[in-house]
Amino acid sequence: MSLQAMDSSHVALVSLKLEVGLFDTYRCDRTINLGLSLANMSKALKCANNDDTCMLKYEENEGDSIIFTFADPKRDKTQDVTVKMMDIDSEHLGIPEQDYAVVCEMPAGEFQKTCKDLSTFSDSLNITATKAGIVFTGKGDIGSSVVTYSPSSNTDDESEAVTLEVKEPVNVNFSIKYMNQFTKATALSDRVRLSLCNDVPVVVEYPIEENGFLRFYLAPKIDDEENME
């Protein structure tokens, strides 16, 4: 099952993929595109408790709605929430393959803290990466902050390692507001992967177990490049 959504300014795109192995039960008779308001979907999911199971059901002969069923076996309780679908303007977007200049993997918590810290000083996040390391910079009127990570080669815990694959150096700027929104996904994964190239959207990817992922695509802030330098 795949989900895509784009912000109204067409700056950011989110792509979620959940493979069949992540579900207790999965049945899909044919490929189908369904449109949902994220705001309405969020309202439905807020009806669930932490220990509930969730079942999504759509039947073509039962109208223009999707049913969310939340079940709590301990209380022998079920709750059905019906959400109206919406017309979507386009089909599922095909994201072109990109040969990225830099791929960095690091602890998701570290990336979250870095973005939060730098947002204190700047609205923009500058990322510079070479084979020597990756540097995150926030610079504003009140001051600046620079966080540098060198590739980890001797850590005993792989989940704490910072790895870099560099084909050529990059120097790009992004909205730190969006990055802070992306890092709310930190709870899903111990690791985050950043795929970077000059003048193209960054990919911020959180693996979901072995069978899925949550990816955010964010266009660079080209106009701020000179100011950050």
Sequence-ordered list of residues with C-beta below 8 angstroms from that of 66, at least 6 positions apart, any chain: 34, 36, 56, 57, 58, 82, 83, 85
- For residues 126 and 44, state if they share a domain: no
Q: Is residue 7 part of a domain?
A: no
Domain boundary among 57, 87, 117: 87
pLDDT at 228: 43
Q: At 71, which CATH number? A: 3.10.150.10
Last residue of a domain, one of 25, 56, 87: 87
Residue 92 has what pLDDT?
62
Verify that 107 and 214 share a domain, yes or no: yes
Instruction: State residue 167 phi and psi, 5-degree precision.
Output: -90, -35
Torsion on CA atoms 46, 186, 198, 166, rounded to nearest 10? -150
For 30-43, the pLDDT digits (tens) are: 888 889 998 999 99
161: domain range? 102-228
pLDDT (tens digit, 9 = 90+) per residue, 124-182? 999 999 999 999 999 999 999 999 999 986 667 787 899 999 999 999 999 999 999 99
- How high is the pLDDT of residue 90? 58
CATH number of the domain that 114 lies in? 3.70.10.10
The answer to whether residues 77 and 169 belong to one domain is no
pTM: 0.87
- The answer to the question of residue 26 being in a domain is no
Structure token digits, residue 87: 């017309």
Domain assignment present for 4: no
**Of 59, 87, 115, which one is at a domain's C-terminal end?**
87
Number of domains in the chain: 2
167 shares a domain with 61:
no
Q: Which of 149, 170, 151 is nearest to 101 (CA)?
A: 170
Amino acid at site 17: K
CA torsion, points 107, 104, 171, 188, in degrees to nearest 10?
-50
Query: Alpha carbon of 6 to those of 66, 85, 138, 144, 205: distances in Å?
Result: 21, 17, 26, 31, 16
52 falls within a domain: yes
Same structural domain, 39 and 149: no
Same domain, 214 and 119: yes
Is 218 in the same domain as 111? yes
Claim to verify: residue 131 and residue 77 sit in the same structural domain:
no
Give the number of other Cβ atoms within 10 Å of residue 28's Cβ.
9
State whether 76 and 123 are in the same domain.
no
Are 204 and 119 in a shared domain? yes
Instruction: Compute the CA torsion angle 117, 120, 126, 131 (nearest 10 deg).
Output: -20
Residues 65 and 156 placed together within one structural domain of the fold = no
Do residues 62 and 116 both lie within one domain? no
In a domain, 167, yes or no: yes
The pLDDT tens digits of the residues spanning 99-120 come to 999 999 999 999 999 999 999 9
Tell me if 5 is assigned to some domain.
no
Comparing CA positions, the residue from 144, 101, 148 lying closest to residue 124 is: 144
pLDDT of amino acid 226? 43
Q: Does residue 20 fall inside a structural domain? A: no
On whether residue 17 sits in a domain, the answer given is no
Average pLDDT over residues 213-221: 96
- pLDDT above 80 (res 63): no
